[in-house]
Amino acid sequence: MAVPAAEWGSPAWWREAVVYQIYPRSFADANGDGIGDLAGITSRVPYLESLGIDAVWLSPFYPSALADGGYDVDDYRDVDPRIGTMADFDAMVAAFHAARIKVFVDIVPNHCSNRHPWFQAALAAAPGSPERDRFLFRRGLGDGRPPSDWRAVFGGSTWEPAGDDWFYFHLFAPEQPDWNWANDDVRADFLTTLRFWANHGVDGFRVDVAMALAKGFGADFPARLPTRAELEATPIGPDHLLYDRDDVDEIYAGWRQVFDEYDPPRVAVAELWAEPSPRKARYATPRSLGQAFYFDIVHAGFSARRVRRVVDEVLGWGRESGSASTWVLSNHDIVRPASRFGLPVVESDETFAGEDRDRRWLLSRGTTPPEDVEQGLRRARALSAFLAALPGSLYLYQGEELGLREVADLPDAARQDPTFFRSPGESVGRDGCRVPLPWTTGPSFGFGPGGTHLPQPDWFGEYAVAVQDVDPQSTLNLYRRALKLRHELQGAAELAWVDAPAEVLHIVRPGGWEAVINFAPTPVALPFTADQVVLATGEVTAGLLPGETTLWLLTTR
Ligand code: GLC
């Protein structure tokens, strides 16, 4: 469907958009080096057009040593030569725009790579120099002891020695030094980067680790850093040294001025992974980034009670911020939904232990507990179709539209994710959702003529685009129908809940568009006629909603 012509230039085009995340290295490989590239993406524009999305978001394609899959950026204003050239980028944007598909790029502002020229200059410069002030250098406690016992997200210390008892701070891998956002050069350089991509036709930005930019410590304050235990006991917010501080607002207010230099204004979406924060809606205000991912829906698992609560919360944050809500089940950091939902449901009241279950399952290489493949797909289809009927924008991750499962048994020797190397025995990392896509049943499943940078399992062929294309009941065709209908039915961003049994969620949108999901494994009776059904994620007969199935009804035709 793509963005309707009438809305293309409107400042509000993004509010109900379906945004498809491309992980460039694993999407399609045109030049046969085993790594996906921009020319590969351009060759698949017709496929994305046929899917009915409105925008794509590209994970990083910048020059990088790939210490963290490209989230370690050497140069923010260029393309990795393995992925293409700036000319390829311009050609890709032109092809998307010709298909009325908007383009988002990923901005990684919390950290760069240790190969970035400014970081190299900082290492070469003396403590206290302007070069070092662009990063978070701090003196150690003597005898080689780091400034604090903090633990990095990927494991190990957050502090890496830089010589002479000095250390630099990295929230993630040591190859990813954090920027000092109190430094004017850093602020100015990111504005240059935003303008650079906007001038190359980019419509929007996905902002990596958006909550963490402003830190409450630099080279000389505060005198004593809290211990790890103290840090973890501090609620995320103004008093936390790492996450969600007030000073982050002013950074994004500056970005907003740049976005508003363009017509239509450039848009942005914040990645907000951190712990629940009651303040997170403020990233989505028109003064700030304008939109935010709320991963609470991922943490809701497959539970009517929890999904209901999260939908109400997320819609509330949408109203509070004046933004549209965002719905997301999948991305390059989490176990694919078709696999997650094939594992036993974790029930608990407030905290969802699903992430821990997924981590353990990956540690067992996908053997314990065994994955129920059919149930996983059935549930993933049902919940995706329910979310697609909600007001707001929908973010999909490549392969989700194929119902693709996690590759949980990658050989250790093939793994690339730094979490695997930095937390041995605790985590195997995220490579299993980043395996190159299956397009056909031929060699490399049609990914490209030169093999794949991560091995594909034999069963990938069953999920190939070419196989699903010709099967009317396939997950791919379900997504196509859902996205097309969603465009046709979408009106006002309103929703009302209809009374339903405990395991069922039932909504109605203006125009008589209803969506009903049954979370229970057993069918429930529901008064509808066959001609009211416009979409179903399983086989339905009038008056009966099967278990783990979603229906869309049109009741006022
Ligand atoms: C974000 C990205 C993730 C990356 C991390 C550090 O969470 O989505 O892939 O590893 O930031 O940049």
Question: CB of 545 within 8 A of CB of 515?
Answer: no
What pLDDT, on a 0 to 100 scale, did the predictor assign at position 419? 95
At residue 378, what are phi and psi to the nearest 5 degrees? -60, -45
Residues 310 and 392 in one domain: yes
Residues 499 and 533 in one domain: yes
> What's the whole-number average pLDDT of the chain?
95
175 found inside a domain: no
- Atom number of ligand 1 nearest to Cα 72: 12
The counts of H helices and E strands in the chain are 16, 18
93 found inside a domain: yes
At residue 207, what are phi and psi to the nearest 5 degrees? -105, 115
Amino acid letter for position 239: D
- pLDDT digits 0-9 by tens, 200-223: 999 999 999 999 999 998 655 667
Among 101, 105, 5, smallest CA distance to 47 is for: 101
Amino acid letter for position 162: A
- pLDDT digits 0-9 by tens, 3-42: 999 899 999 999 999 999 999 999 999 999 999 999 999 9
Residues 324 and 189 in one domain: yes
Give the containing element (helix H, strand E) for 49. helix 45-51
Q: In total, how many domains does the chain have? A: 3
178 found inside a domain: no
Residues 430 and 504 in one domain: no
Given 29, 178, 208, 401, the catalytic residue? 208
Among 40, 286, 93, smallest CA distance to 199 is for: 93
| Catalytic site includes residue 244 | no
| Domain span at 310 | 5-111+184-484
Question: CB of 140 within 8 A of CB of 162?
Answer: no
**Ligand 1 mutation target, pool 209, 416, 422, most atoms within 8 A of CB:** 209
Among 144, 320, 135, smallest CA distance to 219 is for: 135
- pLDDT digits 0-9 by tens, 483-496: 999 999 998 889 99
CATH number (domain holding residue 335): 3.20.20.80
Give the closest residue (by CA) to ligand 1 atom 4: 71
Residues 19 and 129 in one domain: no
Among 376, 266, 372, 217, smallest CA distance to 11 is for: 266
What pLDDT, on a 0 to 100 scale, did the predictor assign at position 492? 87
Helical spans, DSSP H, in 396-508: 418-422, 465-469, 475-489
126 found inside a domain: yes
**Ligand 1 mutation target, pool 175, 333, 422, most atoms within 8 A of CB:** 333
Residues 241 and 94 in one domain: yes
Strand order through the sheet with 292-294: 292-294, 267-272, 204-207, 102-107, 55-58, 18-22, 393-397, 326-328
Residues 374 and 261 in one domain: yes
Residues 519 and 393 in one domain: no
489 found inside a domain: no
pLDDT band for position 348 (cuts 50, 70, 90): low
